Amino acid sequence: MATNLNSRLTLNNGVQMPIFGLGVWQADNASAENAVYAALKHGYKMVDTAKQYGNETGVGRGIARALADGLIKRSDLFVTSKVANQDHGYAQTIAKFDGTLARLQLDYLDLYLIHWPVDGMYVETWRALEDLYAAGKVRAIGVSNFDVHRLQVLLRQGKIVPAINQVEFNPQMQEREMQDFAREHGIQLEGWSPLGHGSAMSDPTIGAIAQAHGKTAAQVILRFDVQSNVITIPKTVHENRLVENADIWDFELTDAEMAAIRGLDKNERSLWYPAFGWYGTDTDFGMATQKWPDSPVNYDE
Ligand SMILES: NC(=O)c1ccc[n+]([C@@H]2O[C@H](COP(=O)([O-])OP(=O)(O)OC[C@H]3O[C@@H](n4cnc5c(N)ncnc54)[C@H](OP(=O)(O)O)[C@@H]3O)[C@@H](O)[C@H]2O)c1
């Protein structure tokens, strides 16, 4: 059982990944820099970003400051980024990887994911990730937003089994089918939008459990993730919330409480293939990288 921010799960290649970290989607570079620095100051060991978020530069600055100030050692830190949709394909993926490393001011990544499975291209993209892994540039490779069908394709056509599938996971969306499939194939589940992008915290069942433990709704949800063995990466740019979200090690949800939260599953996704165009190269949304005004470095790719 995970006991603190340094608690790790062992991935299928033996790499140890923290079970809890910071997400930074929709944070601009300055906010991401400050949030990452504050998180590392408060003992976080993991950061989840993506080229698509347009804030690898800010994340890199926050990490560089934290390393320089001795808040953490590089070997204790776990950094994830993701292949953007417009970079799919073997040659592009290899070529664009160095940009991610440079923006993050790192010489290797801990985990590199395919952000969304662009149909017709993701197998080639996976081949590039396998080669980046073989070259020692990333410690583990995985995918995000893959359904069972697309994972099966990858398992058939790839050489390496993905270490991670990062999918939406929160009280309303508990990915039952994927949980079973991933377990069966040694793929670790990582959950995005653990707080339902903010909305899951108002659920009355969660509220009652929170009251019983003297904790907040966010803490109950994040504790549920950890007790479910799902790696969780709540996003906040506020230092007080960073501390609150990470303060989940001093209580345990009972079997009945775990069951009650499992009962909230509506199997409802906030973003998925049909309604959301990130699975194709031909949609504006899928091609878009968030371009924060303070980071021209994000404009050139
Ligand atoms: N792979 C993918 O396709 C994918 C998709 C979505 C997300 N992700 C990853 O998962 C991370 C988390 O998901 P998310 O950002 O969508 O949503 P989330 O973590 O479920 O929720 C974040 C929202 O909740 C607020 N919040 C955080 N802690 C709070 C607290 N203790 N009390 C009240 N409000 C709180 C945040 O506001 P403030 O920041 O203002 O505090 C923000 O609005 C992302 O940042 C990203 O790294 C990946």
pLDDT of residue 271: 66
Report how far ligand 1's centroid is from the alpha carbon of 233 (Å): 8
Per cent of the chain over pLDDT 90 is: 82
pLDDT exceeds 70 at position 19: yes
**How far apart are alpha carbons 237 and 114 in whole angstroms?**
25
Question: At 131, which helix (H) or strand (E)?
Answer: helix 122-134
Give residue-wise pLDDT tens across range 210-253.
999 999 999 999 999 999 999 999 999 999 999 999 999 999 99
144 lines ligand 1 (CB under 6 A): yes
**How far apart are alpha carbons 98 and 104 in whole angstroms?**
10
User: Which structural domain range is residue 205 located in?
Assistant: 8-298
Give residue-wise pLDDT tens across range 143-184.
999 999 999 999 999 999 999 999 999 999 999 999 999 999
Q: At what angle do helices 148-157 and 122-134 cross, to 10 degrees?
A: 50
Report how far ligand 1's centroid is from the alpha carbon of 134 (Å): 32
pLDDT of residue 200: 85
The torsion angles phi and psi of 24, rounded to 5 degrees, stand at -135, 20
245 lines ligand 1 (CB under 6 A): yes
pLDDT of residue 208: 97
What's the mean pLDDT in 263-282?
Answer: 67
pLDDT of residue 297: 65
**Residues 44 and 20 sit within 8 Å (Cβ to Cβ):** yes
The structure tokens listed for 28 are 């601009």
pLDDT band of residue 295 (cuts 50, 70, 90) is confident
Count of structural domains within the chain: 1
What's the mean pLDDT in 79-85?
Answer: 94
Q: Which of 37, 44, 53, 122 is labelled catalytic?
A: 53
**How far apart are alpha carbons 214 and 10 in whole angstroms?**
31
pLDDT band of residue 275 (cuts 50, 70, 90) is very low
**How far apart are alpha carbons 263 and 246 in whole angstroms?**
24
Q: Tell me whether residue 3 is in a domain.
A: no
pLDDT band of residue 288 (cuts 50, 70, 90) is low
pLDDT exceeds 90 at position 86: no
Report how far ligand 1's centroid is from the alpha carbon of 33 (Å): 16
Q: What is the pTM of this model?
A: 0.96
| Extended beta strands in 129-236, E state | 138-144, 164-168, 188-192, 231-232
Q: Tell me whether residue 1 is in a domain.
A: no
Say which CATH number the domain at 209 has: 3.20.20.100
pLDDT band of residue 290 (cuts 50, 70, 90) is confident
**Residue 98: CB partners within 8 Å, gap ≥ 6?**
none
pLDDT of residue 150: 93
**Is the pLDDT higher at 115 or at 270?**
115
pLDDT band of residue 72 (cuts 50, 70, 90) is very high
CA nearest ligand 1 atom 24, residue: 198
pLDDT of residue 294: 73
**How far apart are alpha carbons 3 and 104 in whole angstroms?**
29
Q: What is the largest CA-CA distance in the chain?
A: 54
Q: Tell me whether residue 2 is in a domain.
A: no
- Kindly give the number of the ligand 1 atom that is closest to the alpha carbon of 245: 31
**Is the pLDDT higher at 282 or at 157?**
157
Please indicate whether residue 53 is annotated as part of the active site. yes
What's the mean pLDDT in 48-62?
Answer: 95
215 lines ligand 1 (CB under 6 A): no
23 lines ligand 1 (CB under 6 A): yes
Q: Tell me whether residue 125 is in a domain.
A: yes
pLDDT exceeds 50 at position 60: yes
pLDDT of residue 287: 60
